[in-house]
Structure 1
Amino acid sequence: MTAISVSRRKLGAFMLTAATIAALSASFAAADENSVRVLRSPVGTFQGLYIAEQQGYFKEKGLKVEVKVGGAPSQNIAQLQAGQADVIMSGSFDLVAAAAQGLPVYAVLNTQDQGEVATTGLMTPPGSPIKTLADLKGKKIGMPGIQSTQGLMIYRALERAGMTKSDVTLVNLPFDAMIESAEKGNVDAIAPIGLFFSLAQSKGFGELKEAYQEIQGTPAVIFASSRDWVGKNKETLKAFNEAMQKAYDYGNEHPEAVRAVDSAQTKMPPDYIKTRYIAPFVAGFQRDKWEAAIKDMAKFGFIPRVPALSDFVWEDAPK
């Protein structure tokens, strides 16, 4: 059994029901001039938002930024399309999938690249007999979104090992359910993200490191907006990006500020927060790495066509 590709899905996968939209409408105040309603990632790389607020960078730019905790990447894209947020955090490849289907979305700012030290990867529970990619044949792999960075990582790694996507079953799981699912044997391996990746490491999960190498250098979690909002709020968005870049610089120089946000905004164990690896914040996109990955997304059936970067990357996004 294999994953269903995005090309077989309908645009409705990114849309919300009327009831859900109505419920969401109360979650954000009506937008004012120079206000930005942000849906952040629930799993990490969001610390810059709180640092920008705490250090007064948003205030310096005359911005009123309201931050809410979002959901999975595709859910945040759906809320963006429904007008329930101005800027969202989403997976870089989830945004590509939306753009490939014609949704008017723009990547406007990066948060982190898949750097030298992994913040995601292919992991197995303690005691697992899976030691190589070949051992995955016939196994189930849990991940937060099949048409995702992690899905591409798995398929690229399998291809390099002489296997195909039909050799495994990818299972879509919530961020916070993957570790427990693997521990209970419901899936044989997982591809967690951010804080949950580090938590799996602390629990003694093994890692097939060759998988992560397949996506190294590509954008991880990004900020995105709708073309309509960008077109009407270019100066506001430029100010938001400038404030965030200052927050990135501050966070990279003061890791204790990042850990303080972790303590205030997550339920991760204090001892883990004190010692976890903090990947550097990066504002610009490595466009060549991203373009190569997009071509492979089409090859593996994640998207129906290869969109040009200019179709979904804002022209004023940091280089």
Structure 2
Amino acid sequence: MSSINRRDLMAAAAAVALASSFALPAWAQEQPKLEFLYSPYADYAPFFVAKEFGFFDEFGVEVTLSPKGDTAETIQMLASGNIEAGGATWGASLFNALDRGATVAIIATLARMPATVPSPSPFMVSQAAWDAGIRTVADLKGKRVGIPGPGGFGMYSVAKALEKGGLTIEDVEAVFLPPPATAAAFANGALEAGWSIEPFAQQLEKQGFGRRLVEDHTFGTELGLIAFNQDFVAANEEAVVRFMAGYLKAARLLDNGGWKDDKVVEVVSKYTGTEPDTLRGIPYTVRSEDGAIDMASVREQEEFFRKRGALEYEGQAKIDAVYRLDLLKSANDLLASKK
């Protein structure tokens, strides 16, 4: 009997060894599900493409994409652990939250402005104002200018545009309203100029309501970031790496001519609610190939909001303490290994 037991044990050990030799690689093993908060804009196209083209599945991570409200909501939900991941834009509220110690981990860039024109976020003048003789930024002194909010990229972008004409935010009458409302404000004469993003900028031009006045004011500016709940990252680093590998694959596809693919346009249309014909041919935000954030650009924006008195702290926000470049490198390495 004892010899039979020994044979059984040896057979079992051999079976275990054989199974181990055929074990799935780490990237293909089951991982926790991950929910990502997005805004219905083309800046988030890499996530839509990665989901619908199966890139997340390819790297073994199950992702749910959920629409969100604003950046503040994203950071609050991440910090509280109500969501695993999401996209956010740089701005005063985010800098303040990071300095207060919000429990988030920053992994990579989400989008940055291209270094070319046409710009996906032009500073525009209404057609009525143009017809009335407002042809330069300097002509806007004392005029009404639309800005989406006092503490975000829109404010920073408008300030950079006004600098082109020797003006500041204080030299104009700031009117806070979202980009979709700019068309009506241009049409009824409520604004002389304003910040815009695509596809609204293109629509303003086609409808004859507005013209691009400045487009070279934010070349290369970091616009958004990808953040995770810190506790989730600590317990699921591999899942984060897999997610980021899928994101990077989609981002590279888009930034290397992917927007010419009708399937890509249809996917983005599905998530943004924008008609495919409207999406075709408009300029888009881009990303660094490896997903790294240009911190010099981020610090420039931080200093802008400091000078405006919008920051609650001295010195620089503690971004480096939560920026997980190690995980971003691992994602790039994983993507390279799959080629």
TM-score, structure 1 length as denominator?
A: 0.78
Q: CA deviation at 1:244?
A: 0.6
Q: CA deviation at 1:167?
A: 2.0
**Secondary structure at the residue paired with 1:307?**
coil
**CA offsets per residue over residues 163-214 of structure 1, 9 Å max, x none?**
33322233332343233233233333221224323333433421221xx534
Q: Within 5 Å, give how 1:1-319 maps onto structure 2.
A: 33-93=31-91, 95-115=94-114, 116-117=116-117, 118-129=119-130, 130-159=134-163, 161-204=165-208, 205-209=210-214, 212-251=215-254, 252-255=256-259, 256=261, 257-282=263-288, 283-304=291-312, 305=314, 306-316=316-326, 318=328
- Aligned pair count reads 286
**Secondary structure at the residue paired with 1:85?**
coil
Work out the CA distance in 2 between the residues paired with 1:171 and 1:98. Answer: 26
Moved more, 235-244 or 144-153: 144-153
**Cα distance, 1:125–1:262 mapped onto 2, change above 3 Å:** farther
**Secondary structure at the residue paired with 1:49?**
helix
**Secondary structure at the residue paired with 2:268?**
helix
Work out the CA distance in 1 between the residues paired with 2:252 and 2:165. Answer: 39
**Secondary structure at the residue paired with 1:193?**
coil
Work out the CA distance in 2 between the residues paired with 1:227 and 1:189. Answer: 41
**Cα distance, 1:171–1:245 mapped onto 2, change above 3 Å:** same
**Secondary structure at the residue paired with 1:316?**
helix
TM-score, structure 2 length as denominator?
A: 0.74
**Cα distance, 1:164–1:48 mapped onto 2, change above 3 Å:** closer
Work out the CA distance in 2 between the residues paired with 1:303 and 1:188. Answer: 29
Work out the CA distance in 1 between the residues paired with 2:264 and 2:157. Answer: 28
Which structure 2 residue ranges, 5 or more long, are not aligned? 1-29, 330-339
Q: What RMSD, in angstroms, separates the aligned Cα atoms of the two structures?
A: 2.7
Q: Amino acid of the residue matched to residue 79 of structure 2?
A: Q
Q: CA deviation at 1:49?
A: 1.4
Moved over 6 A (4+): none
Q: CA deviation at 1:82?
A: 4.1
In our comparison, the structure showing a higher alpha carbon Rg is 2
Q: Is the 8 A contact 1:38 1:66 kept in 2?
A: yes
Q: CA deviation at 1:243?
A: 1.0
Q: CA deviation at 1:160?
A: 5.6
Q: Is the 8 A contact 2:36 2:84 kept in 1?
A: yes
**Cα distance, 1:161–1:275 mapped onto 2, change above 3 Å:** closer
